[in-house]
Amino acid sequence: MRAIFVTIILAVLSLYSWNALAQKTQKTVAQKEKPMPAFSGSLTLGQSQSAINQQDGTFRKSYDLLLLSGYKITDDGKWSLGFRGDASQDLINQEDSDVTQARLSLTRSGFVPLKALKTSLGARLGLPVSRAQRDSYFQSSVGLATFTDFDVSGISKNLVLVYGLVMTKNIHQFEENKAGDINTSYSLSQSLDVKLNLTDKFEIAISGGLIDSWTYQGTKAQIFTHDESLSYSFSQNFSATIGHTHDLSPTQKSDGQSSNIKLFDEAQSLVYGSVTFSI
């Protein structure tokens, strides 16, 4: 609980300081008339809960926090540093509240392999911050990520289509976690994000992901996730979102044959609402 509170305070202070620095940088650019590196950041605060309470002890409800920040290290903006941090305050089991993720990234954008494609390449470093990571003797992770933006202006100028591919290698002190389960060594994540601007204020977003993972002993698992949301922008720096997500479920049932992919799952589906402040 204390970690969540400290994270929120640091996030707000970070956004405030970055905003002040960005404004100062803009003034300097105007005075010197030459490009300078630029900061960006966003803070998302939300609440999520199980779509259906089945009265079996599996109901989930939490406050969620997402902090994103970026820093362009070249004048053309093609090279950038980034940080992502996630935290959750569990409203059912307070002891499960935790900082769930912290990740650094270095990205090179602006590749145009084909006329209708824009691609970015990046390297990622995952940090050991969560209780689950500590229980698995997680030390860090390294990854390579590529995201490709498809030009679909021929269909609609308000449509955005992005495909992502992320390869990750986890580093653990031991191959087994504290419970005796084998840790995940490698993972390959694929995602497809579709966004449609209905107006200059409303946006619909649909995303789907498929994650293949392998343990240190070579056992493979496959999970999927999908998310649907509707966002409204009150201004350039403030927006609100409502949505539904179905996360981290096996693609096959326990028999190994039947498909487990569902648009809505009574046990796993979550509904959420959030607000985002950005600079």
Locate the domains of the chain by residue range: 2-278
Mean pLDDT (whole number) for 113-142: 94
| pLDDT of res. 209 | 93
pLDDT greater than 60 at residue 154: yes
| pLDDT of res. 205 | 97
| pLDDT of res. 252 | 63
Indicate the pLDDT class of residue 107, thresholds 50, 70 and 90.
very high
| pLDDT of res. 13 | 45
Closest residue by Cα to residue 130 from 121, 117, 139: 139
| pLDDT of res. 267 | 74
Count the neighbouring beta carbons within 10 Å of the beta carbon of residue 116: 12
pLDDT, tens digit, 9 for 90 and up, residues 219-248: 999 888 999 999 999 999 999 999 999 876
pLDDT, tens digit, 9 for 90 and up, residues 76-94: 889 999 999 999 999 999 8
Mean pLDDT (whole number) for 54-72: 91
Average pLDDT, the chain: 86
The fold of the 2-278 domain, in CATH, is: Porin (2.40.160)
Contacts of 93 (CB under 8 A, 6+ apart): none
| pLDDT of res. 258 | 67
Mean pLDDT (whole number) for 51-66: 88
Least confident of 5-14, 38-47, 157-166, 179-188: 5-14
CB 148 within 8 A of CB 119: yes
Q: What is the signed CA dihedral for 179, 129, 174, 135, rounded to 10 degrees?
A: -10
pLDDT greater than 60 at residue 199: yes
| pLDDT of res. 198 | 95
* pLDDT more than 90, % of the chain: 64
The pTM of the whole model exceeds 0.85: no
What is the chain written as a DSSP string? -HHHHHHHHHHHHHHHHHHHHHHHHHHHHHHHTS----EEEEEEEEEEEESS--SSS---EEEEEEEEEEEE-STTS-EEEEEEEEEEEESS-GGG-EEEEEEEEEEEEEE-SSTTEEEEEEEEEE---SHHHHHTTEEEEEEEEEEEEE--TTT-TTEEEEEEEEEEEEEESSSB-TTSPBPEEEEEEEEEEEEEESSSSEEEEEEEEEEEEEETT--EEEEEEEEEEEEEEEETTEEEEEEEEEEEEESB-TTSSSB---S--TTTEEEEEEEEEE-
pLDDT greater than 90 at residue 7: no
CB 61 within 8 A of CB 91: yes
Contacts of 61 (CB under 8 A, 6+ apart): 47, 48, 49, 50, 90, 91, 92
Count the neighbouring beta carbons within 10 Å of the beta carbon of residue 121: 14
Give whole-number Cα distances, 183 to 127, 173, 177, 180, 195, in Å.
16, 10, 6, 9, 35
Mean pLDDT (whole number) for 100-122: 92
| pLDDT of res. 172 | 97
Query: d(Cα 100, Cα 129) in Å, to the nearest integer?
Result: 7
Contacts of 235 (CB under 8 A, 6+ apart): none
Amino acid at 70: G
